[in-house]
A = this chain, B = another copy of it.
Amino acid sequence: MTTSLSDIAERAGVSIKTVSGALHGGSARMSEQTRLRIKEIAEELGYVTNLAARGMRQGWMPLIGVVADDLITSPFATEIIRGLDGAARASDMAVFAMTLGGGRDVASVLEEVRRFRPRAIAYAAMYHKTVSLPAEFAETVGVMINCREANDKVTSLVPDEIGAAHEITSYLIEAGRRNIAFINLPGLLAGELREAGFRRALGEAGLDGDRARVLPAVRRAIYSDRAHSLVLSHVTALMDGPERPDAILCGNDRVAMEVYAALRRVGAQIPDDVAVASFDNQVDIASRLDPPLTTMALPHRAMGRMAADILLSENAAPGEVRKLAFQLVERSSV
């Protein structure tokens, strides 16, 4: 049996409220002696606060509910959770995630989460996208992580794709690269924005941004051999063509992994012949490629942290879209 306040009260010969005050209410009026004695007894009896009971009284549980829009499979998802968790913990809150997928829609998952009466709810997307939340949920969900709410009813935190592409492109240019090709992820919001940043950086450096080559890696079939061979044929065509690039920017680290393999096949050295850079910083991959890959790290942790801050301080500005900066991780592929 779990011990409750009344057990402690009985043992200490005081009322329940005194025990409650001693253990939880920091500012409750009582003698330090009583407080200490109660704490001792609580410890002895192995008392553990019943948050369900407190939660019922307060009307909410010390939880931040997270609705994740796809099966949590990527390491990025855990980064978001860790960011949230770190910030939430400072306020004695816990993070509680539920994922969509498997035939569950937003409404039902949201209800599942709401049954636990979390203090606040966040919606997290596994990759940067625009999400259209049914109107009736716009006020239930306090913040959108890694996605933008279509009708701007909710505060959204997204990665600064344009800025990141601009930064890594400029970095390549500063490294003396003049002919940069971009093997991008097609059909994705991130890819679209990065292309804009890429072209702009080229333009600002006096290079012809409009003519720069942006080639698609296959989407959705990203794990199939087809994707593999498409990247291979792109790289082969680039390297055999009249304007050999001296740098290849990749849509993400996994694409970069394929580009490495392709460059090896055509006998090009990294970074001597061709520099390679990318987005994501999926450490397992990026740090183990040969040579280790220079890449822009996504601000997942930061988005999680900021989300918790916004939710708990309750100073969200509905409709605002905050763009968080990537971080350049320099390794030796440039």
If the complex has contacts A72-B81, A78-B72, A223-B283, are A52 and B61 also in contact, measured as CB distance less than 8 A? yes
Min CB gap A281→B, angstroms? 12
If the complex has contacts A56-B56, A75-B74, are A51 and B116 also in contact, measured as CB distance less than 8 A? yes
A323 at the interface (CB under 8 A from B): no
Give A262's nearest chain B residue, CB to CB: B290
Give 1 or 0 for each of A40-67: 1 = CB within 8 Å of chain B CB.
Answer: 0000000011111101100101000000
The docked-state distance in angstroms from the alpha carbon of A117 to that of B53 is 10
A272 at the interface (CB under 8 A from B): no
A282 at the interface (CB under 8 A from B): yes
Of A52, A53, A285, which is in contact with the most chain B CB atoms at under 10 Å from its CB? Answer: A52
A314: which B residues are within 8 A, CB to CB?
Answer: none
Q: Which residues of A in the span 19-53 have a Cβ within 8 Å of any Cβ on B? A: 48-53
Q: Which residues of A in the span 135-171 have a Cβ within 8 Å of any Cβ on B? A: none
Copies held by the complex: 2
Min CB gap A276→B, angstroms? 15
Cβ B117 vs Cβ A51 within 8 A? yes
A133 at the interface (CB under 8 A from B): no
A71 at the interface (CB under 8 A from B): yes
Which of A107-115, A194-202, A207-215 has 4 or more CB atoms under 8 Å from chain B? A107-115
Give A116's nearest chain B residue, CB to CB: B51
Give 1 or 0 for each of A248-279: 1 = CB within 8 Å of chain B CB.
Answer: 00000010011001001000000000000000
A220 at the interface (CB under 8 A from B): no
A228 at the interface (CB under 8 A from B): yes
A75: which B residues are within 8 A, CB to CB?
Answer: 73-75
The docked-state distance in angstroms from the alpha carbon of A228 to that of B2 is 52
Cβ A48 vs Cβ B82 within 8 A? no
Min CB gap A330→B, angstroms? 14
Give 1 or 0 for each of A279-295: 1 = CB within 8 Å of chain B CB.
Answer: 00011110111101000
Interface CB pairs A-B, < 8 A, 16 = A2-B117, A48-B114, A50-B56, A50-B115, A52-B117, A74-B75, A75-B75, A78-B78, A94-B96, A94-B98, A96-B96, A254-B288, A258-B288, A258-B290, A261-B289, A261-B290
Taking A48-B111, A52-B55, A52-B117 as known contacts, 10 extra A-B pairs with beta carbons closer than 8 A to each other, sorted by chain A number, are A2-B59, A2-B117, A50-B56, A51-B115, A52-B116, A74-B75, A94-B96, A94-B116, A258-B290, A261-B290
